[in-house]
Amino acid sequence: MVENTNESAGKRSAFLSNAGLAILVFATAAFALKAIFHPERLARYTPLVIAHGVLMLGWLAFFVRQARLILSRDTQRHMASGKMSWLLVLLMFGTSITVSYSLLVEVQNAGVFIGNFFMLAAFLCFFIAAIRSIRKQDADSHKRFMLFASLTILLPAFGRVADVLFDSAEPSLIMFLVIVIVLPIVYDKVTGQRIHKATFFGIAGTVVWVALMLATIFSPVGPMLVEQVS
């Protein structure tokens, strides 16, 4: 029984490690594609924007490293790294809000600012849920909420890919929702489990925050924000 449990835990960690690596490669490629096919955007890559991108990719690399530490059964280093994750999250938030506000002022379009606000709020909710789960010794929920947190910050990457492929960012939301909903379910199925309650919560939470984001973008809030910074 212990052997089977260890084998199952190893399979779950291996899946998260591989999925995290794929997510990291995708996000990095999205930045590169945007720079290659829209070189005029390079002028906006200020040191702050670059730092913001590095921090976001840094979170995805952190996710991969944490999964690999569990895979190698190095729980001590995994927990030590986890305690430092708050610093990374605070830096991500600081640069994200600053860059989003600067873009709002520059292009007079509130959509990106509102989208990033809801994305970061959802990321924080999933991150806190992951921390609370591990404090309750619920490692299964912890892993799933960390996966949802990492998938949540992929929205801008999907926007860049859609902009390059379709010359429009509009298809990005559909692409994003498909991945965020399907990948956690695949994780549950591949690792031989029924769909976990944390997966249901994660999917429901994602649908809610995306719906709220769209409702806010198409509400009077957007024009009000633009008017405030004009």
> Which tens digit of pLDDT belongs to each residue from 4-53?
444 466 778 889 999 999 999 999 999 888 888 888 877 778 889 899 99
How many C-beta atoms lie closer than 10 Å to residue 77's C-beta?
Answer: 13
- Distance CA(146)–CA(214), nearest Å, equals 24
Mean per-residue pLDDT of the chain = 89
pTM: 0.92
How many C-beta atoms lie closer than 10 Å to residue 178's C-beta?
Answer: 11
Return the residue matching tokens 């990719």.
57
Counting residues of the chain whose pLDDT is more than 70, the rounded percentage is 95
Mean pLDDT of 105-132: 92
pLDDT at 5: 47
